[in-house]
Chains A and B, each alone.
Chain A
Amino acid sequence: MKKFLYKISPLLLFVAILVVWQVFASQFPRFNFLFGSPSEIFASFVRNTVSGRLLSDFVITGFEALTGFVFGVIFGTLAGFVLWYSPLVARIFRPYIVILGAIPVFAFAPMVIVWFGIGLSMKIAMATLGTFLIALTQAYEGAKSVDVEEFRLLKIFGATRFQIFQKVIFPSSLSWVLASMKLNVGFALLGAFIGEFISSNQGLGHFMIRAGSLYDIPSVFAGGVYLVLLALLFNLIVVFVEKNKMKIIEIFSVSRETKRALKD
């Protein structure tokens, strides 16, 4: 019994909050106006889900964030590895990367609108921008943190720089890349959301902002629930990649000849 309670203790807190929230909302109209009530949130959630409204917004925001996430992580990680590969490129670009990293990426939003308009591509661009630099820095730091001794050993084996990358750098920085992916789940959603905040006629951001401007707080929360669901879904993708880490390394890092020779 004790063990069971311990296991579900986070859930208990959730239920307790809902109960207190519901009681407050029913007792104090002012509180109800500011925060809504769990029952109203649930009602709005069901109403907007059944009507299909929230579902289509969920798909749209999910598409924007996921596309931006994939672009940002792939290009950012590649760029980070290029910086490792060429010390000259790293030397040239490092100061600019530091400066770019210091500016909130979303300050570029006005320019992004000029470049991409106010459609779907603008939101994707925002999500890409929001994730690119983190992926870049993590991949670069990961590549640089490789054990000097391993590096030295491969050089004695006669490995080329690309072979060193393939056999040691990529596999050992993969955990850094995965860490950047975990961070970037949030930043991709943030990018898409801010894109929708600036200008949109669909998406979860649009839904929540519109509801907020109508003082429909329960609907804002209902949209928030879908945002949380999106974040969880993206996390599942990262977990999937993490689970297949060894396979990915093997595909990229162990040569086909070796695999064939080991088979027979």
Chain B
Amino acid sequence: MKTMSLPTSRSEQNNIASIKIENVSKQFPVNGGELSVLDNISLDVKSGEILAIVGRSGSGKSTLLNIISGLEKATTGQVSVHGSVGYVPQKDLLLPWRTVVGNILLPAEIKKANLKTSVIKARDLLRKNGLGDFEKSYPSEISGGMRQKVSLIRTLLQDSDIVLFDEPFSAIDFDARLQLVKEVRSYIVSAQKVGVFVTHNFEEAIAVSDKIVVFSERPAKIIYQTEINIPDEYRDPINVRKSKDFQELFERIWKLISKQI
């Protein structure tokens, strides 16, 4: 059950999904004072691209995802998001009282989408990912890795133009994770989606992304950004080490992050 098959997208052509963020800052009011979380962040991601955001925990990465998904407003700066947004949370967040397939159908149910086609797609994906026998199981009856896959299927079945990943693979076994990183990348690139991948695992970040930005500690500033040009055959957290730029990139990011201690 190592492989993960992701859905095929309806919107392979004429995709204009994009995220453009200019000089965004975010402050939260905290008893009288203000807590500055994001400081003058600018980035853009086009369709078919994955951006990885690397930084220590509490550096405001999740706040940025909230701003992109529209749950929070930036205090200053421009945010333009074109396309629907899907979100793969860090915890699987499957509802314990719904079956596996019931959880996958939740977004469709909320949007009052065509449930018949959703069911067919959901069953197909479950079967392809070795979860066919667990359709009617409850989340408490399957393993953590399986739950995370179900969570991923739940988000990707929505076929959103933009997919936000908030450390999505932290609960998954190492070998399954290698495969998932690869699959997620080929899904985003081939379906011309926009991917934003938040992680503190920079091997994973280097393997999956086209661009990396490194956040400083709070308030987060971009202290480093670079494009990643690694051939597809090296795109998983093990093989990526063999690519020629990896060592240098890894050490540079490591220095930036470790300085923050």
- Our count of residue pairs bridging A and B at CB distance below 8 angstroms stands at 65
A150, A153, A253, A254: residue with the most chain B Cβ atoms closer than 10 Å: A153
Q: Please state if A153 and B93 are interface contacts (CB–CB under 8 Å).
A: yes
Q: Does A167 contact B (CB under 8 A)?
A: yes
Q: Does B1 contact A (CB under 8 A)?
A: no
Q: Which of the residues B87, B110, B116 comes within 8 Å of A159, measured between beta carbons?
A: B110
Q: Does B6 contact A (CB under 8 A)?
A: no
Q: Please state if B95 and A168 are interface contacts (CB–CB under 8 Å).
A: yes
| Chain B: number of interface residues, binned into ranges | 20 to 34
Q: Please state if A149 and B93 are interface contacts (CB–CB under 8 Å).
A: yes
Q: Summarize A's interface: helix, strand, loop or mixed.
A: helix
**Known: A155-B71, A156-B87, A262-B101. Contact between A255 and B109, CB under 8 A?**
yes
Min CB gap A159→B, angstroms: 5
Binary interface encoding of chain B residues 74-90 relative to chain A, with 1 for a CB under 8 A from any of its CBs, else 0:
00000000000111010
B87, B89, B101, B115: residue with the most chain A Cβ atoms closer than 10 Å: B115
Inter-chain CA distance A157–B95, complex, in Å, is 14
Q: Please state if B97 and A158 are interface contacts (CB–CB under 8 Å).
A: no
Q: Which of the residues A153, A154, A157, A261 comes within 8 Å of B116, measured between beta carbons?
A: A261
The number of residues on chain A lying at the interface, defined by a beta carbon within 8 Å of a beta carbon of chain B, is: 28
Q: Restricting to B97-130, which residues have a CB under 8 Å from any CB of A? A: 97-98, 101-102, 105-107, 109-112, 115-116, 118-119
Q: Does A249 contact B (CB under 8 A)?
A: yes
Q: Does A258 contact B (CB under 8 A)?
A: yes
Q: Please state if B71 and A258 are interface contacts (CB–CB under 8 Å).
A: no
Q: Does B241 contact A (CB under 8 A)?
A: no
Chain B residues with CB below 8 A from A260, complex form: 115
Q: Restricting to A91-144, which residues have a CB under 8 Å from any CB of B? A: none
- With CB as the reference atom, state the residue of chain B lying closest to A248: B97
- Mind listing 23 A-B residue pairs with CB under 8 Å? A152-B66, A152-B71, A153-B87, A153-B89, A153-B93, A154-B110, A156-B69, A156-B85, A157-B106, A157-B110, A159-B110, A163-B110, A253-B97, A255-B109, A257-B109, A258-B105, A258-B115, A261-B116, A261-B118, A261-B119, A262-B101, A262-B105, A264-B116
Q: Which 4 pairs, one residue from A and one from B, show the smallest C-beta to C-beta distance?
A: A261-B115, A157-B107, A261-B119, A156-B87
